[in-house]
A and B are shown apart, each in its own frame.
Chain A
Amino acid sequence: MLRIQNLTVSVNHGNGRKILRDFNLNIDEGETHVLLGPNGSGKSTLIYTILGYPGYIIESGSIFFKGKNITNLPTNQRVDLGIGTLFQHAPKVPGVKLKNLMNVCGEKRGERTQKGANEESALEDGCEDLDEQTRKIAKDLNFPLEFLERDVNVGFSGGEIKRSEIMQMMALKPDLLLIDEPDSGVDVENLVLIGKVLRKLLQRDEIPSRQTKAGLIITHLGYILQYLGTLDRAHILLNGRIICSGNPQIIIESVKKFGFDECKICEANQISLECRD
């Protein structure tokens, strides 16, 4: 579903420093991957580059999504193809009500399911229209309905912003979900809730043949992972390169035990558990 080939990226504000270097990643339909790495390793840059944000300059390499080269597509067209993102830092947008943004997400899902070959429904079960779906999603997440009338993230707490992000993804139901640090700055109660919803969005409990969604979870804490069931693959990103890929359980356990310091030794010695993808 997502194929990133030899991607080298620098950022506008980074004096030409390369944040991702010759980066490769493959995520197939039905797979959820975890990308672990210390602060500054390039995790967020990867997300913004997959989305096509300005300021992230692709020096070389390509990004393919569903077989299509999306390296130079505008952000919204990537979303039309089925990419959705749960941001770590979502901005305030004065003037735009959360309800309206939820409806935008729902509308985009409708457009995609109409075109798409899969049998996904355009609306949540039992909903007649977008407004009803928006309210249903909010209710399901115990999100106060009056917040839907507020401007996006204006006066929201950290937990409310996270839930607003989740709700938008529930409305959008993307085929590939990019998840940036879902566990940072979140209390346990919200963490359990986010975990539950992500597990569903990523179809973790479906039988393998019915798993059609893909996910990329970026985390340096890893707290969220225990709530997500079985994951397909984990990678460790260090200085803009994946230095290690493999069984998520083994990799996560060893990071928990040794931290990323051991990884740095691996990197220095050019050892890896497996060949890079």
Chain B
Amino acid sequence: MTKELREKFKKEAMKTIKKSGTPQMDVDLSKFSAEQQSEIEISDLEQVDEEFKKILLNVGVDPQQKERSGTYIQTGNQVAFCKTKSDKVEVLPIAVALEKYEWLQDYYWKAVSVDTDRYTAETELTENLQGYFIHAKKGAKDIFPLQSCLFLDIEGMKQIVHNIIIAEEESELNLITGCTVHPNVRKALHLGVSEFYLKKNSKISFTMIHYWSDKSEVRPRTAIIQEEGSVYNSNYIVMSPVRSLQSNPIAYLNGDGAKSYFQTLVYAKQDSYIDVGSRAVLNGKNSKSEMISRIIATGKSHVIARALIQGNASGATGHLECQGLVLSPNARIHAIPEIDATNPNVTLTHEAAVGKIAEEQIMYLMSRGLNEDEARDLIIGGFLEADTSHLPKELAEETKKLINIASEAEG
């Protein structure tokens, strides 16, 4: 990347860093450190100890790399492992990639703007830039997913990540990303910028699982730019406690016939404050977006479930659906579904329902022999099952497996 461009981004970041977010969501960045070195080094991924193996498996990262086309593991702010088996898909640490390919600067801070907020600014200002660059070459079709893990293993650590993912024309990319902390770590901060670029007729299926601790603060910033005929398919799963999490990816469906699907599954526990959503801007003719979120709130958790579809081009269609179960008197789900038509020839619809489990549903299951608790558990258990019909088979199975692991975890 050219020095001039770098300087420009740094300057914008300096201006933005003082901006504050919404009060509840503000994180004091100075309370976390990016200096400490992670204690984990991986020379041979197949030889990692049992504890780390379990951590990886919990977020869908298979140390054996069976049925995986590549692996990226970042512990704290170090790249611990980065390898791909495929010659059609490249995986590199972002810093290396920016050195290697000057053209990549055209994708750097293009989907997400550096001055979005103090967290994007902090990401630009970090001394030690990390994250992954994934590049599916033209026509590349790897069946097996690429896996990545962003892992924090030191108390009070600040992890900063900037990812760029590019799917060239006619390529297909399947990704699993797991973000997690060591079981002994409670307080941690994760800032993650992800910029996705989907060229003509490309397809990215992306399953992301978050597995945090009760004092973690999490601020992903994600944007997706889609060309003609491309399909972006996102599944986001968070089922462990977290102190605060704010994520609201935005997809710009600029090309005609582009499609995006967002599925969000949240099991909010304890004091978690979770502000999640997804946005789609339908700029391409006949572009289409669907969003489904299913949320369970227990304990004193507070979930804000956002969804926005904006239809700007004729023939655009969008549907969003939000279902939430509030299972404790101190829990809260605040659904904010928004549909915005700026063109007469668009069709946008939404459905939202939040509250307790309907008594008629419980009674119906009891009339088949289940007791009240069993009836409730059956409904809750199935409520967070993912609809994987949009996903390629291999990723669908992994996604289902991940949801099972996550929903069985204690919290």
Contacts and interface: CB of A to CB of B under 8 A. Distances in A.
Give the interface centre of A76, A95, A100 by most chain B CB atoms within 10 Å.
A95
B46 interface: no
Given A80-B369, A168-B368, A54 B379 contact: no
21 contacts: A51-B367, A54-B359, A75-B363, A75-B367, A76-B366, A76-B367, A79-B367, A79-B369, A87-B364, A90-B364, A93-B361, A93-B364, A96-B365, A96-B378, A97-B382, A100-B378, A104-B365, A104-B368, A104-B378, A151-B382, A168-B368
A101 B366 contact: no
B335 to A, nearest CB: 15
A159 interface: no
Nearest to B382: A95
A79 B382 contact: no
A105 B369 contact: yes
Which secondary structure dominates where chain B touches chain A? Answer: helix
Given A95-B384, A100-B382, 15 more contacts: A76-B370, A79-B366, A79-B367, A79-B369, A91-B358, A91-B364, A93-B361, A93-B379, A94-B323, A94-B382, A104-B369, A105-B369, A107-B369, A151-B382, A168-B368
B360 interface: yes
Interface residue tally of chain A, by bracket?
20 to 34
B368 A105 contact: yes
Contacts of A74: 366, 371-372
A109 to B, nearest CB: 9
B385 interface: yes
A56 B370 CA distance: 20
A156 interface: no
A172 interface: yes
Given A96-B378, A96-B379, A91 B369 contact: no
Contacts of B363: 53-54, 75
Interface in A152-192: 168, 172
A35 B364 CA distance: 22
Interface residue tally of chain B, by bracket?
20 to 34
Interface of A: 51, 53-54, 74-76, 79-80, 85, 87, 90-97, 100-101, 104-105, 107-108, 151, 168, 172
A177 to B, nearest CB: 12
B381 interface: yes
B355 to A, nearest CB: 13
A172 B368 CA distance: 8
Nearest to B385: A95
A182 to B, nearest CB: 16
A99 to B, nearest CB: 11
B380 interface: yes
B369 A108 contact: yes
Given A76-B369, A76-B370, A79-B367, A91 B378 contact: no
B383 interface: yes
Nearest to A102: B368
B8 to A, nearest CB: 50
A91 B360 contact: yes
Contact of B367 (A54, A85, A97, A151): A85
A75 B382 contact: no
A113 B58 CA distance: 41
A79 B368 contact: yes
A73 to B, nearest CB: 11
A92 B358 CA distance: 10
B163 to A, nearest CB: 33
A217 to B, nearest CB: 17
A247 B359 CA distance: 39
Given A91-B361, A95-B385, A76 B378 contact: no
